[in-house]
Every structure is written in structure tokens, then in C-alpha cells.
């Protein structure tokens, strides 16, 4: 009989090992290591210019690390074949900061685009699924609107519906609350939390919004520009109360509860 205590725990959904990230030979981040558990709501935080978006680009495969590696469910991304990497990327969803919707397409067409590119569903099936995804983010009835006809908060929701189109295991969010008023930002936070709780989605959120960080983050890493890396990791509420690092206090205690 197998001893349950001897059963190996599953690998992290995402693991960064010794990442050095940068552009044109210039390192923005050095020797960054962390892991994200499955179904965790994980925030990458820090001030402007600390490397948050740079790290995100390396995690989602847009840039190749200068050193180190990224693993998904224990398997290195770079070690995979090109076809295997493409298949892995289909399990990601990304909500870009601006929403990145195609202005010439309706919301339905925007959400259906990944389905057209990566599935064999019929046009009718794609449209039905796109409408379902829009309904999941509170945009039922807006399927035939164009991006120019909706508010900034609605654009973010439509972008999230597109990110969810292929039922990804992991969704990356790049500054989801940027440019939104506090009420709209809070509603978007609630939607992210609902998606995680309903579908067990692993969520990685790049943000500097303290309200969001304290409201919904399970865990954070705090990046620092001068350190070129991580200066704190853990529950933001605990770090705000207990950290003695002045960089952590300066960032988290501005509005900490």
C-alpha cells in the first residue's frame, strides 16, 4: 500500500530558475527565481522601470532569457521542440495592458479569432463560444459592438474574454487596472478572482496597484530597479506588517491596511 506521505507533490505550474532577462545584451533582471502554484493568484509588483513587463515577456515566450530557464509543470520551455512550444503557448491566455483588441473587428470577432486560428470549430461554433466567453465577463449583449463603441473597462473585459477563448490553464495579466477608475478596477479584480475560483486558472498579474494587491493576491514577488531582482516574496499583507526592508516598506505601506 502506498504511503500518502511519500506521494510526490506536483510540480509548480510555473517555475523560473536563475533568470537573467534583458535586451541587446543589457540585463534588466539578474538571477531571478520563483515558482507559481497551480490555481494561485500570483502578483509581480514593483515601481516603474523595475522589470515587471520585461519579466512577463520572458515568461510568455516573447523573449528568450539571457540565462536561466522557465519551466511549466516541471518541463523547461526552451527544451521543447518548436511544435511543442506552440502547443504549450495555446494553454496560455494573455490580457495585455491596453486590451489589444482589433479595432476593425466586433467583440465577437475578436474573441473568436484564437478559435479560428487554433481550432477546427465551424463558424457557428466559434461565434457561439465567443458569445459564451463574453457572457462570462459580463458583456452579454455587446457581441456586435466595436472596441471604439465601449468603455475602457469593457475593453479590458473583452480582452479577458479573448484570453479565455481556448480555456487556458494559465492567464497572464499586464497591468489590468491601468487607466481604470477605482470602481471599475475593483470589479475587474472581482472578475479575475471569480475566474480563478470557478475554473482553477493559474493567474499571474503584473501590477503596481496596491488596492488590487491587497484585495486579491495570494502571493507576490516585489522587484526592485536597483537590485535588478526580487527583494521580497510572500503574502503582501504579512510583508506590509512585518518586513523590515525599507524598499518593501516604502512600496507596500503607502496604503497598507
The CATH number of residue 224's host domain is: 3.40.50.300
Full residue range of the structural domain in which residue 121 is found: 38-53+91-252
pLDDT profile of the chain (257 residues), mean per 10: 66 96 93 97 94 94 93 85 82 86 96 94 96 95 96 93 95 91 92 94 94 96 96 96 93 67
User: What stretches of 62-175 show up as alpha helix (H) in DSSP?
Assistant: 82-89, 107-118, 123-136, 152-163
pLDDT of residue 255: 44
CA distances, 156 to each of 81, 144, 185, 233 (Å): 33, 16, 10, 28
Q: Is 63 inside a domain boundary?
A: no
Q: Is 105 inside a domain boundary?
A: yes
Q: Is 125 inside a domain boundary?
A: yes
Sequence-distant (≥ 6) Cβ neighbours of residue 4 within 8 angstroms: none
pLDDT of residue 256: 41
Domain count for the chain, please give it: 1
Q: Is 161 inside a domain boundary?
A: yes
pLDDT of residue 4: 56
Q: Is 74 inside a domain boundary?
A: no
> Edge-to-edge strand order for the sheet containing 75-76?
26-36, 14-23, 67-72, 75-76
Sequence-distant (≥ 6) Cβ neighbours of residue 16 within 8 angstroms: 32, 33, 34, 35, 59, 68, 69, 70, 71
pLDDT of residue 9: 83
3-state SS assignment for residue 36: strand
pLDDT of residue 90: 86
Q: Is 133 inside a domain boundary?
A: yes
pLDDT of residue 2: 56
Sequence-distant (≥ 6) Cβ neighbours of residue 251 within 8 angstroms: 45, 46, 47, 222
3-state SS assignment for residue 44: strand
Amino acid at each position: 500500500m502506498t504511503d500518502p506521505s511519500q506521494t510526490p507533490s506536483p510540480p509548480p505550474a510555473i517555475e523560473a530558475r536563475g533568470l537573467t532577462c534583458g535586451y541587446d545584451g543589457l540585463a534588466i533582471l539578474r538571477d531571478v527565481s520563483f515558482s507559481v502554484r497551480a490555481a494561485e493568484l500570483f502578483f509581480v509588483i514593483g515601481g516603474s522601470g523595475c522589470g515587471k513587463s520585461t519579466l512577463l515577456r520572458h515568461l510568455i515566450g516573447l523573449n528568450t532569457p539571457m540565462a536561466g530557464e522557465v519551466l511549466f509543470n516541471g518541463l523547461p520551455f526552451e527544451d521543447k521542440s518548436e511544435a511543442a512550444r506552440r502547443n504549450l503557448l495555446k494553454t496560455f491566455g494573455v490580457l495585455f495592458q491596453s486590451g489589444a483588441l482589433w479595432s476593425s473587428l466586433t467583440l465577437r470577432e475578436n474573441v473568436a479569432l484564437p478559435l479560428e486560428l487554433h481550432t477546427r470549430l465551424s463558424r457557428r461554433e466559434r461565434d457561439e463560444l465567443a458569445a459564451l466567453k463574453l457572457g462570462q465577463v459580463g458583456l452579454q449583449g455587446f457581441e456586435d459592438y466595436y472596441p471604439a463603441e465601449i468603455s475602457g473597462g469593457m475593453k479590458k473585459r473583452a480582452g479577458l474574454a479573448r484570453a479565455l477563448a481556448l480555456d487556458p490553464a494559465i492567464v497572464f495579466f499586464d497591468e489590468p487596472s491601468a487607466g481604470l477608475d477605482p470602481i471599475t478596477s475593483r470589479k475587474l479584480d472581482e472578475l479575475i478572482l471569480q475566474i480563478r475560483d470557478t475554473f482553477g486558472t493559474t493567474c499571474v498579474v503584473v501590477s503596481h496597484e496596491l488596492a488590487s494587491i491587497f484585495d486579491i493576491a495570494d502571493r507576490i514577488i516585489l522587484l526592485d530597479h536597483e537590485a535588478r531582482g526580487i527583494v521580497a516574496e510572500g503574502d503582501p499583507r504579512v510583508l506590509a506588517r512585518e518586513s523590515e526592508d525599507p524598499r518593501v516598506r516604502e512600496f507596500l505601506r503607502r496604503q497598507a491596511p
